Structure 1
Amino acid sequence: MEHIYSKFYSQFEIITELKTEVLGVVLHDDAENYAAKDYIEWLQNRIARGELEKGWACVYVDKNTCYWFHPSQNIEWHCGHTFANAHYIGIERCQSKIGGILSDEDFMENEEASFKIAAMLLQKYKLPVNRETVKLHKMFYDTECPARAWEIHLKNAPTNQQNMQKLQDYFIEKIRAYDLFTEEELIVLG
């Protein structure tokens, strides 16, 4: 997998302050056809137009690429929820548009890449993999996100606490499947 880093990893300029504490990750579905590399220009355009307040995550993932936009230890604007933005790392799974360019099987390859990145980030911050550290966007904000995963794994079941926990438990199981990473492997986290 190719790892690409924005300018925020090579200069002192950052967008936001440090998180007081990293509590876990939030897995998002972008509801677009964009690959991770497409977000490089997309986010640069958002910066140029002064529209970052519309939202952004730490990392954008597909099966081939991770685009690391902003360091994970800094506050993000990925959940529409102050506490979540200030304590959780946003992982945007790319090309998740329902009826988009990817089949469910192909999207699940992108999803699998996101589980590996989540496992690495949780290990980096010495966090366990459980319901406290692995969250869905819809747990913090009234949204369909992660809509593609919801459709595939829950067959569009009603949004309620029980079903959110079912999807959360699926994500946890997939993340736990990854063994511990070496220090050299964790270097890609920036």
Structure 2
Amino acid sequence: MLHHIYSDYYKQPAKITEKKPEIHGVVLHDDAENNKAVDYIQWLQRRIDKDELEKGWACVYVDKESCYWFHPSNYIEWHCGEPFANAHFIGIERCQSLINGVLSDKAFMENEETSYWIAALLLKKYNLPITRETVRLHKEFSDTACPARAWQVHLGDVPTNEKNINKLKDYFIEHIKRYSDQITKDDLDVLG
């Protein structure tokens, strides 16, 4: 069973940012770290303590065991390095995605499954279809390799272009759709 952890931002009226004007979908990120989702509790607290949140953060951090909901999904995040994406998309950070890191590709793909479940929940919460317009990659908005591990695992050594971006998005969409029909009202209650 997936363990959901919520930061203090869910309990207090003060938030880091303003509400999103409109939610268009989700962005699936790879953290390029060896951290588990629970490790981001202290990692993000250090960023807060050092006044370094501008370096970036996402709504939720996931692995196969836990989801750490850092900030409510309907508030602006700093996850894409691009204002429109930050203000209109929900960031899902897939943990332990460092290439040649602590996880085998098979184990990383288990963490990915959690991200697909969370993406399905969020898209259902906001009544959004599961399409190429609502399921996005970080590299569509910024000059980055993210999601680098997923790119390597599912596509290999191919160039970043529209065809390959759509190929990876279609893979993500296929997996997200598998979960969408299984979602119940109780499932939606866990969302941040």
Partners of 2:109 and 2:184 in 1: CA distance:
25
Aligned length: 190
Q: Partners in 1 of 2:113 and 2:134 — Cα distance?
A: 18
- Give the alignment partner of residue 186 of structure 2, picking from 179, 184, 189: 184
Q: What is the Cα deviation at residue 180 of structure 1? A: 4.3
- Given the two structures, how large is their TM-score scaled by the length of structure 2? 0.98
CA–CA distance in structure 2, aligned partners of residues 169 and 183 of structure 1: 26
2:129 is equivalent to residue 128 of structure 1: yes
- Structure 2 CA distance for aligned equivalents of residues 109 and 181 of structure 1: 19
Match for residue 151 of structure 1? 152
- For 1:112 and 1:43, the matched residues in 2 are separated by 23
Question: TM-score, normalization: structure 1?
Answer: 0.99
Alignment match, 2:117: 116
Matches within 5 A, 1:1-190: 1-178=2-179, 179-190=181-192
- Give the counterpart letter for 1:121 in structure 2: L
1:182 Cα offset (Å): 1.6
Q: Secondary structure at the match of 2:133?
A: coil
Question: Whole-Å Cα distance in 1 between the matches of residues 120 and 17 of structure 2?
Answer: 24
Distance of 1:29 and 1:90 partners within structure 2 = 10
User: Secondary structure of the equivalent of 2:27?
Assistant: strand
Question: Tell me, what secondary structure is at the counterpart of 1:189?
Answer: coil
Identity among equivalent pairs (%): 67
In structure 2, give the amino acid aligned to 1:116. Answer: W
- Counterparts of 1:138 and 1:184, CA distance in 2: 33
- Aligned residue for 1:188, secondary structure, equals coil
- What is the RMSD of the two structures over their aligned residues, measured on CA atoms? 0.6
Query: Does the aligned pair in 2 maintain the 1:123–1:180 contact within 8 Å?
Result: no
Secondary structure of 1:177 counterpart: helix
Q: State the Cα distance separating 1:156 from its structure 2 match.
A: 2.0
Structure 1 stretches lacking a partner, 5+ long: none
